[in-house]
Amino acid sequence: MNEKLLKALIFDLLYSRYYGVIVYVRIFRGELVKGQKIKFSRSQKIYQVERLGVKTPQEVLKERLGTGEIGWFTANIRDMREVKVGETVLDINNDSPPLAGYQESKPNVYSNLYPGDSSQYKEFEKALVELQVQDSSLSLEKVDSQLLGPGFRCGFLGLLHREIICERMQKEYQCEIIITPPSIIYRITYQNGKTAEIVNPQKVLPSQKIKLIEELIISCLITTPLEYLGAISQLCQNKRGQIVADLSFFVHENFAYERARLLCEKLKATLNPQNFVVPIQACIGNKIIARETLPALKKNVTAKLYGGDHTRKMKL
């Protein structure tokens, strides 16, 4: 293996109307020189470097980038789908495998996006492709709806990522969009033992009897101020979540009631009253063995009465 041959990792991309795709790389081996012919590990397409440099944070043009340096280059790449974040840039004479260790992000939430005006489809498609170049975690797949026409099934990291992409489409590219409700990947097991991962319910095989449908689950730790506990607990229950209390403990059955009663009493003395009655229960499985009730806040109806004769309060 020739240690002087170029090997660089693409970690970011931007698009310029004048220069095409601007590729940001880290040089792991060899050097990148202006005028050099390069190829990408995935597409194997060959380009010639036209401009390169570093950011300091201003763009500073250079003639070459050496091992260990981080910089950018342009090579008149007009099709943004020919290059992706995580690819390896190689010298045309370098046939070594791409750099290991990079894994593409996997979408967790899917929605279909359609242009608000079907006549603006080309601008809509261009905007989405440009966003995908800048954000490699966004996945695109062409779809065609009988009702809404052509569009894209987009994969997002989560609901916040979905919201950001839609907002950028509207504000940066002035695209009116129609977006379908979010969905996730479902794993379907048929009676014949075959399994399939499906996002679109229409792709479920009607001729096959379904044995099991599974959805993604997460295990998470939620840390929150006490005032939001009720709303978050309700949200978790609506999502069929199971709350595992930090106050759970192992205890011998002979001392279970005493420990449970003391715990409920301490919680009652520690927690602040709410506008409603809060039950505090200690359970073993589904059996409640101890209970305390935190009373609700009471309104002081005499607070507004001050001065004058004390019989005014007595009349209340």
> What confidence score (pLDDT) does residue 4 get?
78
Average pLDDT over residues 244-255: 73
Helices 159-171 & 121-134, crossing angle to 10 degrees?
130
**242 versus 121: which is more confidently predicted?**
121
**Which one of 27, 60, 91 terminates a domain?**
91
Domain at 62, CATH number: 2.40.30.10
Q: Which domain holds residue 307?
A: 218-316
> What confidence score (pLDDT) does residue 185 get?
85
Per residue in 92-127, pLDDT tens? 888 888 887 666 778 889 999 999 888 889 999 989
pTM beyond 0.85:
no
Helices (H) and strands (E) in the chain, counts: 5, 19
Given a cut of 60, whether residue 1 has pLDDT beyond it is no
Domain at 228, CATH number: 3.30.70.2570
Runs of H (alpha helix) within 135-190: 159-171
Q: Is 59 within 8 Å of 17 (Cβ atoms)? A: no
Average pLDDT over residues 149-161: 91
**Sheet strand arrangement including 139-145:** 139-145, 149-156, 109-115, 177-179
> What confidence score (pLDDT) does residue 54 get?
93
My answer on whether 197 and 289 are in the same domain is: no
Question: Has residue 103 been placed in a domain?
Answer: no
Question: Has residue 83 been placed in a domain?
Answer: yes
Beta bridge partners of 23: 13, 73
- Of 73, 71, 75, 74, nearest in space to 57 by CA: 71
- 57 upstream amide cis, omega within 30 of 0: yes
> What confidence score (pLDDT) does residue 101 get?
63
Question: Has residue 99 been placed in a domain?
Answer: no
Q: How many domains does the chain divide into?
A: 4
